[in-house]
Amino acid sequence: MKFVLTGGGTGGHLAIAKALLDAITAAGDEAIFIGSTTGQDRMWFGEGSAFEQTHFLETTGVVNRRGIAKLAALWRVARSALEARRIMKRYRPDAVISVGGFSAAPASFAALSLKIPYFIHEQNAVTGRLNRLLRRYARCFFSSYDPESPVKSYPVNRALFETARVRERVETVIFLGGSQGAKAINDFALAVAPALARRGIAIIHQCGERDYERVREAYAAMGIGAELYGFTKELPSLLARSDLAVSRAGASTLWELAANGLPALYIPYPYAAGDHQYYNAMHLAEQGLSRVVREAELRPELLEQMLDDGVEAASRGLRALEGDDAAAAIISAVREAC
């Protein structure tokens, strides 16, 4: 079978595209990618990816723009949709799967106008604008928070299941800012680092490229030897070594931590559309599997409290969540629906 995967912008969407691609190629099938020239699409799939072809079309976000800027963004989507139609007429895919984000708009409209079976994977607890608009036209809508979804587990890198373990005590804390890094989490890490050092707890910290120098200098000034990364491709092995995470609640990160049995204190990005990071985190917090705190209410004592309470029960609970190979299950559901 031939697939088109579309969508991206940020790592959360692209991580799903990658997991689906792996499931497609493992089954001996093939796929092409249609994404955007803006955002992180090229960084993920620019060179040496396993896609048969990759196309980066000119699109920018539409939702937060006004006036002329919005019209210009819509014009770019329309022009790129025509280009996506030309690509699909040549490639003749059996199915188009959108992982959301503004990068997905041209290929989604092209698929629907050509009547190619169309599928959506929504990563977040609050459905994004484009997915809300197009959901009614999709043959299946996959979401880990929707009881109606044909597959409820979330596609994550298999390595996270393979290295999963129950955490009995906290020897290493990892700070995670999502694919772009988060200044608030960086500041929090620096504020709690001395207390962690006093307890003999090691620190791993993914701080984002933009804030890397500042954070590096701050650790050096405190004489604390944190293991620091801007953006790293080795995240799965870093998570496997960690016992507690302090993290944004981007969907892919959240389900990767869950798959690995790694409990977290989630600090949702306050400006995410529809506050979706908060609802992503609440999905786990309501089951007692992690904690969530608003950025404005973040206090060092909260982390200390979690260290005192221990993480074993939460870690065991995460390991008990449904955790099959979601990407393969999604691809086989797509195959059946075509």
Which amino acids are annotated as binding site for UDP-N-acetyl-alpha-D-glucosamine, given as ranges? 10-12, 124, 179, 277
Residue 127 touches ligand UD1, criterion: CB under 6 A: no
Whole-number Å distance between alpha carbons of 287 and 297: 21
Q: Which is nearer to ligand UD1, 108 or 277 (CB)?
A: 277
Residue 260 touches ligand UD1, criterion: CB under 6 A: no
Residue 125 touches ligand UD1, criterion: CB under 6 A: no
Q: Long-range contact list for 89-92, CB < 8 A, 24+ apart?
A: 89/114, 91/2, 91/4, 91/32, 91/53, 92/2
Q: How far is the CB of 49 from ligand UD1 (least distance, A)?
A: 15
Whole-number Å distance between alpha carbons of 310 and 211: 31
Q: How far is the CB of 249 from ligand UD1 (least distance, A)?
A: 7
202, 272, 289, 307: which one binds ligand UD1 (CB under 6 A): 272
Residue 62 touches ligand UD1, criterion: CB under 6 A: no
Q: Which is nearer to ligand UD1, 112 or 184 (CB)?
A: 184
Residue 178 touches ligand UD1, criterion: CB under 6 A: yes
8, 13, 22, 330: which one binds ligand UD1 (CB under 6 A): 13
80, 242, 253, 315: which one binds ligand UD1 (CB under 6 A): 253
For residue 17 the two structure tokens come to 């595209």
Residue 15 touches ligand UD1, criterion: CB under 6 A: yes
Residue 251 touches ligand UD1, criterion: CB under 6 A: yes
Whole-number Å distance between alpha carbons of 110 and 116: 9
Residue 179 touches ligand UD1, criterion: CB under 6 A: yes
Binding residues: 10-12, 124, 179, 277
Q: Which is nearer to ligand UD1, 16 or 34 (CB)?
A: 16
Mutual angle of helices 251-260 and 312-319, in 10-degree steps: 100
Number of residues in the chain: 338
Residue 22 touches ligand UD1, criterion: CB under 6 A: no
Where does this chain bind ligand UD1 (CB under 6 A)?
10-13, 15, 123-124, 178-179, 206, 229, 231-233, 235, 250-253, 256, 269, 272, 276-277
